[in-house]
Every structure is written in C-alpha cells, then in structure tokens.
Amino acid sequence: MLKKLLIATALIASATSSTLADPPKGYVSVKPTSKDHPLKELVSGYWYRDPATRAIQDDEFQNPGMLLVEAGKELWSKVDGKAGKSCASCHGDPKKSMANVGTSFPKMMGQGDKRTLRNVESQINVCRTENMQAEPWKLESKDMLAMTVFTKHQSLGKPVNVKVDGEAAKWFEKGKAMYYTRTGQLDLSCSHCHEMMEGKYIRSDHLSQGQINGFPLYRLKDQAVLSVHKRFEGCIRDTRAEFPKAGSDDLLALELYVAWRGNGLPVETPAVRH
C-alpha cells in the first residue's frame, strides 16, 4: 500500500527540488559543496520540526542533549583504565583538540593494518582500549553518548566537511550503494523518503532530508539521546528489513555517505528532533 502510494506520488512529482513544503520563517538552506550532489539545496532536519521543538533545541538550558554535554565534560577529566589517564591527559583542552570532531568524522584513522574508517564512537573506544587501557564503552551507553555528544559539540556551528576521496572512496561508494538500494518487506531505500519525497508528509510525519549534522541528538519520541547508528537501525527496521549491527563496517560506510550528503550544514550536536 505504502509502496504504491510512494510510486504514484513519485511519478507526479518527479522533478522535485529539495525544498520544504511550506518553509518556516527564517529558514536557512545551504548549497551543496559538490557539483554531483543529488540535492539542489541542503536543509537541516531542524527546519522540518515545529517551532516548539526548535525552541527546545535552541534553549541551551532546556535542550536535554546539553545534559549529556555536561556529563561528557566531567568524563573528559576522569581518570579511567590501567594507564591512569583521562582524555584530558593526552588531549588537553577539548575546545582545541576536539574542535573538528563534529565536522570531520567519520574518517580514516589508525596506522598500518589497523587503518580503517572510524566514527567518533569507534575512535573513542580505540583511544580507551589502546591508550587508556580501559574497558570499551558499550554503544548507546550513557557514557559513550555523553562523550560523543561532548566532543562533537565542540564543532557547534561549523560546517560539516567529511572527506570522501582517496582511502575513504571505497567506503563512500559502499555507503552510496546502500543508500539507493531497496530493502525490506516495504522495499524502500533511504532515497525514497529522504530524496524523492523529502519535504512531503508521510501520514503526519514531515519527511526531512535525513541529514545527520545534529547527531547524537535528543529524540522527543524516545525521550532519550540517540546515536547515528541507532537512528539508522530504526529507519531500516521501518522498511521491515534486518538492519546491520551498530558499529559495523556497513553502517560506518552509510554514515560516511550520509554525512557527505550534509557537507556544508552546520554541526548542531546535540540537536532536538521529534
């Protein structure tokens, strides 16, 4: 039913440009940085949400994600692991050392045969296990979310700028293929909702471009902060498909590709969405 509806509307609205159905006051869009970008303009998920939701994101005091920024700040100086170090021991002032975390990850990290694409979460665990000799944090655990939010928040307002060339190219291509591949019982790909139909409504949900410039973010629906992979899980599950495991290479590739789709949008971590 859903598929027929989407195909029908796709045929009618085949040459859609990526604009909001009824843009709210003050709405800002960004031109994509690369020429072969599938969207004409980039709009943060922020603008698809109603004024009350946007107000909560903007109010640093009320934004529940900021509670995790504070928690992350505390963890930053906390000694953990056999090496007797804290993040601060090596990285000093997070405002300086983490300034580009939100704009550059996922990216190629590591030496020799350990070199691979890492997102913030996986890099945090590499740092913890290898440099701090501490236990890795579980994905979606409060500590992991807090540190991810805290470090990405240091790039607040800066434009996302992930690299997809050179070594990262094969990850980029993988992610792109995933983005456009139909999956699940509902036989949908990410592009159906977030490229073909973005700006339109699916029931009462306002379809956004599926950008991730605000992640990890607070979801009103879950009343909790979620990571990118957790969100991908939810989306893929909605097509009634089996989803790749959080932290897997597949999702890392997808994360890189989706981040690239938002290159130019400001980092909003921690954003608030519904």
Smallest gap from residue 260 Cβ to another protein (A):
21
Give yes or no for residue 242 binding another protein (CB under 8 A).
Answer: no
Give yes or no for residue 201 binding another protein (CB under 8 A).
Answer: yes
Q: According to CB under 8 A, which one of 39, 43, 49, 122 is a site residue for another protein? A: 49
Cβ atoms of 182 and 236 closer than 8 Å: no
Give 103 or 208: the residue with its C-beta nearer to another protein.
208
d(CA 225, CA 237): 19
Give yes or no for residue 204 binding another protein (CB under 8 A).
Answer: yes
Active site residue 235: yes
The amino acid present at 253, given as its one-letter code, is: A
d(CA 133, CA 237): 35
Task: Please report how many Cα atoms fall inside a 13 Å half-sphere around the Cα of residue 226, on the Cβ side.
Answer: 20
Q: What is the DSSP secondary-structure string of 168-179?
A: GHHHHHHHHHHH
Residue among 129, 122, 116 at smallest CA distance from 144: 122
Q: According to CB under 8 A, which one of 51, 112, 157, 166 is a site residue for another protein? A: 51
Q: According to CB under 8 A, which one of 13, 52, 79, 156 is a site residue for another protein? A: 52
Smallest gap from residue 264 Cβ to another protein (A):
24
Give the end-to-end CA distance of the chain in Å, rounded to a whole number. 25
Binding site for another protein (CB under 8 A): 2, 49-53, 55-56, 61-62, 64, 67, 70-71, 142, 193, 201-206, 220-221, 223, 231, 233-235, 237-238, 240, 274
Q: What positions carry a catalytic annotation?
A: 235
